[in-house]
Amino acid sequence: MIAHLHGTVSGISPDGAIIDVGGVGMRVLCTPGTLAALTLGERAQLATSLSVKEDSLTLYGFATDDERNVFELLQSAKGVGASLALAILAVHTPEALRRAVATEDVNALTLVPRIGKKGAQQILLDMKDRLGPPGDTGTALPGSKPGQQRAPSWRDQVQSGLVNLGWPARDADLAIAALEEDGTIVTGEPVDIAVVLRAALRKLSTR
């Protein structure tokens, strides 16, 4: 079991990062919030969870042990696999998720792409008394940046992802504005950060 990685960030993509650990590049899939706190060439430490399937090994990385633990707990809910658990944490911090479960907030969970009302109700049922009460949060890992646990808005996450990929902040903002203008992003509807990042990169590549 790989519990954490501590190394140099050697690559960042819209859905993950490569951490160089002793000369070995370990690819980890991360939430946009975690990716936004990583900087190419700098040291970082991520809590990790390894998903083992017959034909693949996938490593997931998180800013805190708490986020990693919630990711693993979510997969005990009916119908929730690793990719959906990561999508939930891309929209909600562990603390926000605890509040949603404590208050049985179905609408909060339906903000996550691919989760409908029935799925949200099932997750709330399965997670009841499992995540702990609101306020039971984890501590950022050594090497993480102050404020890393705060969940930035989708706009901040997309902009940070683009900047980490080498685009100037002004160009990132223009790409986001273009996506709003052409209807790719609709105000008030759930935003899939990974999809928006890819769409923004396509906009930037045609500039």
Question: What is the third-level CATH fold of 4-62?
Answer: OB fold (Dihydrolipoamide Acetyltransferase, E2P) (2.40.50)
Q: What pLDDT does 20 receive?
A: 95
CATH topology of domain 66-127: DNA polymerase; domain 1 (1.10.150)
CATH class of this structure's domain 154-205: mainly alpha
DSSP string, the chain: ---EEEEEEEEEETTEEEEEETTEEEEEEE-HHHHHT--TTSEEEEEEEEEEETTEEEEEEESBHHHHHHHHHHTTSTT--HHHHHHHHHHS-HHHHHHHHHTT-HHHHTTSTT--HHHHHHHHHHHTTTS--TT-PPPBPTTPPTTTTS---HHHHHHHHHHHTT--HHHHHHHHHHHHHTTSS-TTS---HHHHHHHHHHHHHT-
Is the pLDDT score of 151 beyond 50? no
Per-residue pLDDT for 12 more than 70?
Answer: yes
Q: What is the pLDDT of residues 35-59, one digit of tens each?
A: 888 999 999 999 999 888 878 889 9
Residue 185: predicted pLDDT: 78
Is 18 or 149 the better-scoring residue by pLDDT? Answer: 18
pLDDT at 207: 64
Per-residue pLDDT band for 14 (boundaries 50, 70, 90) equals: confident
Do the domains 66-127 and 154-205 sit in the same CATH topology, yes or no?
A: no
Q: Where are the domains of the chain?
A: 4-62, 66-127, 154-205
Q: Record the pTM.
A: 0.68
Q: pLDDT, tens digit, for every residue of 78-125?
A: 999 999 999 999 889 899 999 999 999 999 999 998 899 999 999 999
